């Protein structure tokens, strides 16, 4: 068998256990730090208004005049804006009669605002007026 005394093996086992415990504590501290930096919590249930916002946001940004946090202005991309506005129009068409009054009104209002902004941008307007995202 081994020439090492039995006590030495116990010492190695104790060191391993201590290292494992330190690693466990280190990982727990990192996890707590990450959770403190990005408190996510449970996500709310998705709604149709959330979907409308997801599709409308790139349309608003593509119409132009949107500023990034660093102050740079996103250049207009009217083809991209039209695509997202058309997606919202398709959503309105396909969900007609299957949405609540509030959802239908929100979708209609967002589409109206986006279409007006798009028409202004196509006509040569500044396109800097962007509506706030709809609230549920």
Instruction: Look at residue 24 in the predicted model and tell me its pLDDT.
Output: 82
Categorize the per-residue pLDDT at 12 as very low, low, confident or very high, splitting at 50, 70 and 90: low
Q: Label each residue of 17-45 as H, E or C.
A: HHHHHHHHHHHHHHHHHHHHHCCCCCCCC
Instruction: Look at residue 127 in the predicted model and tell me its pLDDT.
Output: 43
Domain boundaries defined on the chain: 1-41, 48-122
**Does residue 130 carry a pLDDT above 50?**
no
Q: Averaged over 26-48, what is the pLDDT?
A: 80
* Region of 130 on the Ramachandran plot (φ > 0 left; ψ -120 to 50 alpha; else beta): beta
Please give the share of the chain, as a percent, with pLDDT higher than 70: 78
**Does residue 106 carry a pLDDT above 50?**
yes
User: Do 130 and 63 meet the contact criterion of CB atoms below 8 Å apart?
Assistant: yes
Please give the share of the chain, as a percent, with pLDDT higher than 90: 49
Three-state DSSP at 133 gives coil
Instruction: Look at residue 76 in the predicted model and tell me its pLDDT.
Output: 93
**Does residue 134 carry a pLDDT above 60?**
no
**Contact partners, residue 83, CB within 8 Å, separation at least 6:** none
Instruction: Look at residue 136 in the predicted model and tell me its pLDDT.
Output: 47
Q: For 52-83, b where at least 16 C-beta lie within 10 A, e where not — what string?
A: bbebbebbbbbbbbbeeeeeeeeebeeeebbe
Q: How far, in Å, CA of 65 to CA of 69, rounded?
A: 13
């Amino acid at each position: 068998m081994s020439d090492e005394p039995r006590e030495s093996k116990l010492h190695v086992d104790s060191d391993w256990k201590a290292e494992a415990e330190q690693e466990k504590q280190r990982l727990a501290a990192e996890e707590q730090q990450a959770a403190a930096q990005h408190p996510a919590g449970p996500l709310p249930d998705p709604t149709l208004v959330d979907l409308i916002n997801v599709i409308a946001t790139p349309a608003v940004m593509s119409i132009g005049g949107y500023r990034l946090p660093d102050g740079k202005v996103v250049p207009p991309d009217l083809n991209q804006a039209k695509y997202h506005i058309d997606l919202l129009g398709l959503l309105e068409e396909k969900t007609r009669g299957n949405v609540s009054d509030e959802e239908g009104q929100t979708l209609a209002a967002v589409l109206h605002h986006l279409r007006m902004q798009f028409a202004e941008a196509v006509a040569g307007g500044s396109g800097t007026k962007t509506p706030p995202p709809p609230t549920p």
